[in-house]
Structure 1
Amino acid sequence: MDEAPVGLRELRQQLAQQGRRYLALSPIDQPRARIRFPGQFEGREIIWDADLRTLHHEYEQARAENPATTDAFRQYIHIHPAQGECVPIVVALNVPQFDEPAILKTLIMIHNYKRLRLGRHEFGPPVYFSD
Structure 2
Amino acid sequence: MTDSHTSSGRQASQQRYEALSPINQPQVHIRFAGDFEGNAVTWDARLHTLRHEYEQSLLQQTPAPETLRQYIHIHAAQGKLLPITVALNVPLFDEPTILKTLIMIHNYKRLRFGRHEFGQPVSFSG
Q: Provide TM-score, normalisation by structure 1.
A: 0.83
Q: CA RMSD for the aligned pairs?
A: 2.0
2-structure distance, mates of 1:126, 1:80: 23
Quick check: 1:107 aligned with 2:102? Answer: yes
Alignment identity in percent?
63
**Is structure 2 residue 49 aligned with structure 1 residue 51?**
no
Letter in 2 for 1:41: F
Which one has a larger percent strand, Structure 1 or Structure 2?
A: 2
SS at match of 1:114: coil
Whose helix proportion is higher, 1 or 2? Answer: 1
Gaps spanning 5+ residues in structure 2: where? Answer: 7-11
* Correspondence 1:1-131 to 2 at 5 A: 1-2=1-2, 21-66=16-61, 69-130=64-125
**Alpha-carbon shift at residue 68 of structure 1 (Å):** 5.4
> Unaligned 5+ residue runs, structure 1?
4-13
Contact 1:51/1:89, CA 8 A, preserved across alignment: yes
Single out whichever of 98-107 and 64-73 deviates more from structure 2.
Answer: 64-73
Structure index of larger Rg: 1
Which aligned segments of 4 or more residues in structure 1 are displaced greater than 2 angstroms?
65-70
